[in-house]
Structure 1
Amino acid sequence: ARLAAEVGTPAAVVSPASTGLSEAEQELVAAWELDTGLLLAERERRRRRGDGPVEVLLPARLSVSALVALARDPDELARQVRRPMPRPPARQARRGTAFHLWLEERFGQQRLIGDDDLFAEEEDTDDDLIELRARFEAGEWGGRWPSAVEVPFDTVIGDRQVRGRIDAVFSEPDGGFDVVDWKTGKPPRTKAEKDAVAVQLAAYRLAWATLAGAPLDRVRSAFYYVRHDKTVRPADLLDEAGLIALIQRVPIAE
């Protein structure tokens, strides 16, 4: 398969960050938006089909997760573009979403509620989610306060619109910033997987530098693996030129 660059998304699609929808509704709209782009790419591919290799068109709007997939396995992403298949959310993904919602409420509500409310009875939830909450509170980031949480962005990288949502941004004493992504799973083990997931932080760092009007070298970034109380800062993150080169990568022919 070959990734190319000539398809757009419908003009009626609106960025979910501007709609005032709930987090769950935003995730659903974002999934529809991505699926729409993939289906348009498939339609265009069928229109142009002829003899020789089949060309797979990369949508004009990409999610950060698509960039990670491109870094991990461009051929697999090409196959997904050719034949998009809906996938039910995995249990781990649902738990991660629930944990992120709890963090958003934790950071948001503590500015507004009184001390007595902090000891209100906790809603029923599964034991694993309770453990994740406790580990976060006791971990190295539990006592720190972000300057921004759940920051949506829609930025241009090369000739692509790239959208995503930054978990948390911390202001540093030297005037810089620390962009942190909370992870509820295990840290990657292989170098290839570490390099692939680091693309997520590279995109977040570039997006925040653009939003804040800050030099890229003043923005640090990290993954925090909650269950392991481990902060990972990948070295040599891609800059804008590196992300553009990734987007323009042509996968090996099938």
Structure 2
Amino acid sequence: MVVVQYLRSVVFIGLMYLSMAALAVVFAPLAVADRKFAHAGIRAWTRLVRWLAHRVVGLASEVRGPVPTGEVLVAAKHQSFFDIIILLSVLPNPRFVMKKELERAPILGWYARRIGCVSVDRGQKGRAIRAMVEAVHRERGDPGQLVIYPQGTRVAPGTLAPYKVGTGVLYQELGAPCVPVACNVGVFWARHSLYRRPGRAVVEFLPEIPPGMELRAFMTQLEAEVETASNRLIGRAAFDGPELR
């Protein structure tokens, strides 16, 4: 069974990237003219990937909690590429804080820039935070959901990694609510593996944190809520089957 699942995983990955290329070409002329078509193309592809994951490898995906629609900071747990895909499939006007290297990625880089994603040179630390804040303010003419990963990178389930202060700085600069997001996606879609495990990957939007909190108190609350909820989802992963409720 493991060999069969591995082969299904390889087929799924091939279909995922072939469909990315095909839809990118289809939507590109419209996306050049209007940013909303870049969002439409991304949404079409991410929803297709979720469907393919369910049908090809038995990996269903579920979104819990109210999906934010206004101008908010979304502070999300990041375990694999699949949690990005799920967020992009449901958020109406998302843009991400992403590492600068992704700007050079074929297809992904161009579409990321087109929807207003903010690139950060993680090696510059303090200067990177200032540049990130400036870039975010430049994009505020198009209100939406700004997604940031507080730990700064993908973190495998069960691994401890510090929450970086840049999330708190953005929270204070924007003066907007923050919606924490938990997930268990890394249980099924590991960072350095082609194998996709069947089951139910869950991304959960938690109750929003209102604006105006002191920085340290905000960071403490954010980490506690995201880690507690993610650990709960990870603990349930072995019991949740692949069928959506």
Q: TM-score range by the shorter chain?
A: 0.3 to 0.5
State TM-score, norm by structure 2.
Answer: 0.33
Select the structure that is richer in helix: 2
State TM-score, norm by structure 1.
Answer: 0.32
Structure with the larger RCO, 1 or 2 (CA within 8 Å, 6+ apart)? 2
Higher CA-based Rg:
1
